[in-house]
Structure 1
Amino acid sequence: MAHDERPRARVTMLIKAPAQAVFGAFIDPAVLAKFWLSSASAPLRVGEPVDWRFMVDGATARPVATRLVVDEHIAWRWSDGTVQIDLAPFDGGTAITVINEGFPGDQQAQVEAALNATEGFCIVLCDLKTLLESGRSAGLTRAKAQLIEARR
Protein backbone atom coordinates (compact mmCIF):
# COMPACT_ATOMS: atom_id res chain seq x y z
CA MET A 1 0.00 0.00 0.00
CA ALA A 2 1.41 3.37 -1.00
CA HIS A 3 2.09 5.81 1.80
CA ASP A 4 -0.81 8.13 0.91
CA GLU A 5 -3.38 5.37 0.33
CA ARG A 6 -5.72 4.69 3.19
CA PRO A 7 -7.63 1.42 3.53
CA ARG A 8 -11.25 1.37 2.45
CA ALA A 9 -14.10 -1.10 2.38
CA ARG A 10 -15.84 -1.65 -0.96
CA VAL A 11 -18.80 -3.97 -1.49
CA THR A 12 -21.06 -4.42 -4.51
CA MET A 13 -24.25 -6.41 -5.02
CA LEU A 14 -26.98 -6.81 -7.62
CA ILE A 15 -30.42 -6.54 -6.08
CA LYS A 16 -33.38 -7.46 -8.27
CA ALA A 17 -35.45 -4.51 -7.11
CA PRO A 18 -35.89 -0.95 -8.38
CA ALA A 19 -33.45 1.72 -7.21
CA GLN A 20 -36.34 3.44 -5.42
CA ALA A 21 -36.74 0.43 -3.09
CA VAL A 22 -32.99 0.12 -2.46
CA PHE A 23 -32.62 3.86 -1.81
CA GLY A 24 -35.63 3.87 0.49
CA ALA A 25 -34.28 0.94 2.47
CA PHE A 26 -31.32 3.04 3.65
CA ILE A 27 -33.42 6.15 4.35
CA ASP A 28 -36.58 4.79 6.03
CA PRO A 29 -36.15 3.79 9.71
CA ALA A 30 -38.89 1.13 9.43
CA VAL A 31 -37.08 -0.64 6.58
CA LEU A 32 -33.63 -0.24 8.16
CA ALA A 33 -34.98 -2.12 11.18
CA LYS A 34 -35.91 -5.08 8.96
CA PHE A 35 -32.37 -5.84 7.77
CA TRP A 36 -29.67 -3.78 9.52
CA LEU A 37 -30.60 -1.80 12.61
CA SER A 38 -32.60 -2.27 15.77
CA SER A 39 -33.85 1.30 15.37
CA ALA A 40 -33.23 4.66 13.76
CA SER A 41 -34.45 7.93 15.28
CA ALA A 42 -35.40 9.50 11.94
CA PRO A 43 -34.94 9.19 8.19
CA LEU A 44 -31.60 10.33 6.76
CA ARG A 45 -31.70 13.99 5.75
CA VAL A 46 -28.72 16.06 4.66
CA GLY A 47 -27.09 17.84 7.59
CA GLU A 48 -29.33 16.30 10.26
CA PRO A 49 -27.78 13.77 12.66
CA VAL A 50 -29.78 10.63 13.39
CA ASP A 51 -29.32 8.02 16.08
CA TRP A 52 -28.86 4.45 14.92
CA ARG A 53 -28.94 1.44 17.22
CA PHE A 54 -27.45 -1.68 15.71
CA MET A 55 -28.48 -5.25 16.42
CA VAL A 56 -25.36 -5.71 18.57
CA ASP A 57 -26.37 -4.71 22.08
CA GLY A 58 -24.96 -1.27 22.92
CA ALA A 59 -23.65 -0.57 19.40
CA THR A 60 -24.76 2.85 18.18
CA ALA A 61 -23.84 5.42 15.55
CA ARG A 62 -24.78 8.99 14.80
CA PRO A 63 -24.54 9.39 11.03
CA VAL A 64 -25.05 12.73 9.33
CA ALA A 65 -26.07 12.54 5.68
CA THR A 66 -23.84 14.68 3.48
CA ARG A 67 -25.47 13.99 0.12
CA LEU A 68 -28.72 12.38 -1.03
CA VAL A 69 -29.62 12.05 -4.70
CA VAL A 70 -32.94 10.21 -4.87
CA ASP A 71 -32.55 6.67 -6.24
CA GLU A 72 -28.87 7.27 -7.14
CA HIS A 73 -26.60 8.21 -4.24
CA ILE A 74 -26.47 8.27 -0.43
CA ALA A 75 -23.51 9.57 1.57
CA TRP A 76 -22.94 10.09 5.26
CA ARG A 77 -20.19 10.63 7.78
CA TRP A 78 -19.96 8.84 11.09
CA SER A 79 -17.35 7.72 13.61
CA ASP A 80 -15.95 5.21 11.08
CA GLY A 81 -15.22 7.83 8.42
CA THR A 82 -17.50 8.27 5.45
CA VAL A 83 -19.88 6.01 3.57
CA GLN A 84 -20.96 6.42 -0.04
CA ILE A 85 -23.66 4.28 -1.62
CA ASP A 86 -24.11 4.42 -5.38
CA LEU A 87 -27.09 2.88 -7.16
CA ALA A 88 -27.34 2.15 -10.88
CA PRO A 89 -29.85 0.27 -13.02
CA PHE A 90 -28.51 -3.13 -14.03
CA ASP A 91 -30.14 -6.17 -15.64
CA GLY A 92 -33.65 -5.36 -14.44
CA GLY A 93 -32.50 -4.53 -10.93
CA THR A 94 -30.11 -2.24 -9.11
CA ALA A 95 -26.34 -2.50 -8.79
CA ILE A 96 -25.36 -1.14 -5.39
CA THR A 97 -21.83 -0.17 -4.39
CA VAL A 98 -20.91 0.79 -0.83
CA ILE A 99 -17.58 2.45 -0.05
CA ASN A 100 -16.58 3.12 3.55
CA GLU A 101 -13.31 5.02 4.04
CA GLY A 102 -11.54 7.51 6.27
CA PHE A 103 -11.18 5.16 9.22
CA PRO A 104 -9.54 6.68 12.31
CA GLY A 105 -6.39 5.40 13.98
CA ASP A 106 -3.01 4.14 12.88
CA GLN A 107 -2.42 2.05 9.76
CA GLN A 108 -3.11 -1.27 11.51
CA ALA A 109 -6.34 0.02 13.07
CA GLN A 110 -7.46 1.35 9.68
CA VAL A 111 -6.78 -1.98 7.96
CA GLU A 112 -8.71 -3.87 10.64
CA ALA A 113 -11.60 -1.40 10.42
CA ALA A 114 -11.71 -1.70 6.61
CA LEU A 115 -11.78 -5.49 6.82
CA ASN A 116 -14.54 -5.43 9.43
CA ALA A 117 -16.53 -2.89 7.41
CA THR A 118 -16.16 -4.99 4.24
CA GLU A 119 -17.52 -8.04 6.06
CA GLY A 120 -20.28 -6.01 7.71
CA PHE A 121 -21.51 -4.27 4.57
CA CYS A 122 -21.37 -7.56 2.66
CA ILE A 123 -23.70 -9.13 5.22
CA VAL A 124 -25.95 -6.05 5.23
CA LEU A 125 -26.27 -6.05 1.42
CA CYS A 126 -26.96 -9.79 1.32
CA ASP A 127 -29.70 -9.38 3.92
CA LEU A 128 -31.12 -6.38 2.03
CA LYS A 129 -31.09 -8.38 -1.22
CA THR A 130 -33.04 -11.18 0.44
CA LEU A 131 -35.52 -8.74 2.00
CA LEU A 132 -36.23 -6.85 -1.22
CA GLU A 133 -36.34 -9.93 -3.45
CA SER A 134 -38.34 -12.24 -1.18
CA GLY A 135 -40.12 -9.89 1.21
CA ARG A 136 -38.35 -11.36 4.26
CA SER A 137 -34.98 -10.80 5.90
CA ALA A 138 -32.78 -13.88 6.08
CA GLY A 139 -31.65 -12.75 9.54
CA LEU A 140 -28.02 -12.53 8.39
CA THR A 141 -27.26 -9.28 10.19
CA ARG A 142 -28.99 -10.50 13.34
CA ALA A 143 -26.98 -13.77 13.23
CA LYS A 144 -23.71 -11.85 12.92
CA ALA A 145 -24.76 -9.62 15.83
CA GLN A 146 -25.29 -12.74 17.95
CA LEU A 147 -21.76 -13.94 17.17
CA ILE A 148 -20.27 -10.54 18.02
CA GLU A 149 -22.13 -10.45 21.34
CA ALA A 150 -21.06 -14.02 22.19
CA ARG A 151 -17.39 -13.09 21.66
CA ARG A 152 -17.49 -10.14 24.07
Structure 2
Amino acid sequence: MNKQNLPVVKAEMLIRKPVHEVFEAMINPEITSKFWFTKSSGRVEPGKTLEWEWGQFGVSDTVDILEVRTNEYISLEWKPGDLKTKVEMEFEPHSETSTLFKVTESGFWDSAPAEDEKLEEKINLMLGQNGGWNLVLCNMKAWLEHKLDLNLIADHNPKAAVK
Protein backbone atom coordinates (compact mmCIF):
# COMPACT_ATOMS: atom_id res chain seq x y z
CA MET A 1 0.00 0.00 0.00
CA ASN A 2 1.26 3.46 -0.88
CA LYS A 3 1.92 5.49 2.31
CA GLN A 4 0.14 8.45 0.71
CA ASN A 5 -3.08 6.43 0.90
CA LEU A 6 -2.81 5.65 4.63
CA PRO A 7 -5.35 7.33 6.96
CA VAL A 8 -4.38 10.66 8.53
CA VAL A 9 -6.02 13.09 10.94
CA LYS A 10 -7.18 16.39 9.43
CA ALA A 11 -8.79 19.46 10.96
CA GLU A 12 -9.26 22.98 9.65
CA MET A 13 -10.87 26.21 10.78
CA LEU A 14 -11.42 29.66 9.36
CA ILE A 15 -10.04 32.15 11.84
CA ARG A 16 -11.07 35.74 11.29
CA LYS A 17 -7.62 37.22 11.85
CA PRO A 18 -4.83 37.98 9.36
CA VAL A 19 -2.42 35.16 8.61
CA HIS A 20 0.49 36.79 10.48
CA GLU A 21 -1.58 36.85 13.71
CA VAL A 22 -2.67 33.22 13.40
CA PHE A 23 0.90 32.13 12.62
CA GLU A 24 2.29 34.11 15.58
CA ALA A 25 -0.28 32.44 17.84
CA MET A 26 1.23 29.04 16.98
CA ILE A 27 4.90 29.98 17.35
CA ASN A 28 4.70 32.25 20.40
CA PRO A 29 4.06 30.28 23.61
CA GLU A 30 2.81 33.40 25.37
CA ILE A 31 -0.16 33.29 23.00
CA THR A 32 -0.43 29.54 22.44
CA SER A 33 -0.71 28.95 26.19
CA LYS A 34 -3.96 30.95 26.17
CA PHE A 35 -5.76 28.28 24.13
CA TRP A 36 -3.74 25.03 24.00
CA PHE A 37 -0.81 23.95 26.19
CA THR A 38 -0.01 25.71 29.46
CA LYS A 39 3.77 26.01 29.10
CA SER A 40 6.53 25.69 26.48
CA SER A 41 10.31 25.68 26.78
CA GLY A 42 10.51 28.22 23.94
CA ARG A 43 9.26 29.63 20.66
CA VAL A 44 8.64 27.37 17.69
CA GLU A 45 11.76 27.61 15.50
CA PRO A 46 13.23 25.13 12.99
CA GLY A 47 15.57 22.56 14.52
CA LYS A 48 14.44 23.19 18.09
CA THR A 49 13.36 20.50 20.51
CA LEU A 50 10.71 21.88 22.83
CA GLU A 51 8.92 20.62 25.90
CA TRP A 52 5.21 21.39 25.89
CA GLU A 53 3.24 20.97 29.11
CA TRP A 54 -0.46 20.61 29.75
CA GLY A 55 -0.41 21.53 33.42
CA GLN A 56 -4.12 20.91 33.86
CA PHE A 57 -3.43 17.21 33.22
CA GLY A 58 0.10 16.96 34.64
CA VAL A 59 1.51 15.76 31.29
CA SER A 60 4.11 16.97 28.83
CA ASP A 61 5.52 16.00 25.45
CA THR A 62 8.80 16.54 23.64
CA VAL A 63 8.28 18.20 20.27
CA ASP A 64 10.86 18.32 17.48
CA ILE A 65 10.32 21.29 15.17
CA LEU A 66 11.19 20.20 11.63
CA GLU A 67 10.34 23.14 9.41
CA VAL A 68 8.97 26.65 9.72
CA ARG A 69 8.04 28.93 6.82
CA THR A 70 6.85 32.27 8.15
CA ASN A 71 3.09 32.79 7.79
CA GLU A 72 2.78 29.59 5.69
CA TYR A 73 3.79 26.32 7.31
CA ILE A 74 5.02 24.53 10.45
CA SER A 75 5.93 20.85 10.72
CA LEU A 76 6.84 18.97 13.86
CA GLU A 77 7.14 15.48 15.27
CA TRP A 78 5.86 14.37 18.64
CA LYS A 79 4.75 11.23 20.39
CA PRO A 80 1.06 10.92 21.21
CA GLY A 81 0.63 7.54 22.85
CA ASP A 82 3.33 5.10 21.75
CA LEU A 83 3.72 6.45 18.21
CA LYS A 84 5.87 9.20 16.76
CA THR A 85 3.70 11.22 14.40
CA LYS A 86 4.21 14.21 12.15
CA VAL A 87 2.04 17.29 12.43
CA GLU A 88 1.82 19.74 9.54
CA MET A 89 0.15 23.12 9.96
CA GLU A 90 -0.77 25.24 6.95
CA PHE A 91 -1.77 28.89 7.11
CA GLU A 92 -3.73 30.04 4.05
CA PRO A 93 -4.83 33.66 3.73
CA HIS A 94 -8.56 33.54 3.10
CA SER A 95 -8.83 37.31 2.88
CA GLU A 96 -6.81 40.21 4.27
CA THR A 97 -8.53 39.67 7.61
CA SER A 98 -9.00 35.90 7.82
CA THR A 99 -6.93 32.71 7.64
CA LEU A 100 -7.79 29.12 6.84
CA PHE A 101 -5.71 27.15 9.35
CA LYS A 102 -5.23 23.48 8.45
CA VAL A 103 -3.68 20.71 10.55
CA THR A 104 -2.73 17.25 9.27
CA GLU A 105 -1.25 14.57 11.52
CA SER A 106 0.25 11.46 9.92
CA GLY A 107 2.47 8.52 10.80
CA PHE A 108 -0.07 6.33 12.56
CA TRP A 109 0.42 3.51 10.04
CA ASP A 110 3.40 1.81 8.40
CA SER A 111 1.21 -0.58 6.45
CA ALA A 112 -2.44 -1.08 5.58
CA PRO A 113 -4.50 -0.61 8.75
CA ALA A 114 -6.25 -3.98 8.31
CA GLU A 115 -2.85 -5.70 8.59
CA ASP A 116 -1.85 -3.86 11.79
CA GLU A 117 -1.85 -5.81 15.06
CA LYS A 118 -2.63 -2.59 16.95
CA LEU A 119 -5.57 -1.61 14.74
CA GLU A 120 -8.02 -0.77 17.53
CA GLU A 121 -5.43 1.12 19.58
CA LYS A 122 -4.38 3.22 16.57
CA ILE A 123 -7.95 3.96 15.53
CA ASN A 124 -8.72 5.14 19.07
CA LEU A 125 -5.57 7.29 19.08
CA MET A 126 -6.50 8.84 15.73
CA LEU A 127 -10.03 9.58 16.91
CA GLY A 128 -8.61 11.21 20.04
CA GLN A 129 -6.14 13.27 18.03
CA ASN A 130 -8.87 14.35 15.62
CA GLY A 131 -11.07 15.48 18.48
CA GLY A 132 -8.12 17.18 20.14
CA TRP A 133 -7.16 19.15 17.07
CA ASN A 134 -10.73 20.33 16.62
CA LEU A 135 -10.81 21.49 20.25
CA VAL A 136 -7.52 23.35 19.76
CA LEU A 137 -8.80 25.07 16.62
CA CYS A 138 -12.09 26.08 18.26
CA ASN A 139 -10.33 27.33 21.36
CA MET A 140 -7.81 29.22 19.19
CA LYS A 141 -10.61 30.83 17.18
CA ALA A 142 -12.41 31.99 20.34
CA TRP A 143 -9.21 33.41 21.82
CA LEU A 144 -7.91 35.17 18.72
CA GLU A 145 -11.23 36.56 17.54
CA HIS A 146 -12.86 37.42 20.87
CA LYS A 147 -10.25 36.97 23.64
CA LEU A 148 -12.55 34.34 25.15
CA ASP A 149 -11.05 31.48 27.13
CA LEU A 150 -13.54 28.69 26.54
CA ASN A 151 -11.38 26.26 28.58
CA LEU A 152 -12.07 23.54 26.01
CA ILE A 153 -8.78 21.69 26.52
CA ALA A 154 -9.20 21.26 30.28
CA ASP A 155 -12.96 20.77 30.21
CA HIS A 156 -13.10 18.07 27.54
CA ASN A 157 -11.72 15.55 30.07
CA PRO A 158 -12.39 16.82 33.61
CA LYS A 159 -11.71 13.40 35.17
CA ALA A 160 -8.08 13.56 33.97
CA ALA A 161 -7.51 17.09 35.29
CA VAL A 162 -5.00 17.48 38.10
CA LYS A 163 -6.74 18.72 41.21
Question: Between the two proteins, what is the percent identity of the paired residues?
Answer: 23
Please identify, of 37-46 and 121-130, the stretch whose mean Cα deviation from structure 2 is larger. Answer: 37-46
Does structure 2 retain, via aligned residues, the 8 Å contact 1:124–1:141?
yes
Amino acid at match of 2:30: A
Specify every segment of 5 or more residues in structure 1 that has no aligned partner in the other structure, as ranges.
none
Match of 2:24 in 1: 24
Whether 1:120 aligns to 2:132 is yes
Match of 2:93 in 1: 89
Counterparts of 2:58 and 2:2, CA distance in 1:
35
Match of 2:142 in 1: 130
What is the CA distance between 1:109 and its match in structure 2?
2.0
Match of 2:42 in 1: 42
Match of 1:100 in 2: 105
What is the CA distance between 1:133 and its match in structure 2?
0.4
The root-mean-square deviation of aligned C-alpha atoms, in Å, is 2.1
What is the CA distance between 1:145 and its match in structure 2?
4.2
Please identify, of 60-69 and 107-116, the stretch whose mean Cα deviation from structure 2 is larger. Answer: 107-116
What is the CA distance between 1:55 and its match in structure 2?
4.3
Does structure 1 retain, via aligned residues, the 8 Å contact 2:8–2:107?
yes
Does structure 2 retain, via aligned residues, the 8 Å contact 1:44–1:64?
no
Please identify, of 62-71 and 101-110, the stretch whose mean Cα deviation from structure 2 is larger. Answer: 101-110
Does structure 2 retain, via aligned residues, the 8 Å contact 1:71–1:87?
yes
What is the CA distance between 1:94 and its match in structure 2?
0.2
The two structures have a TM-score, normalised by structure 2, of 0.83
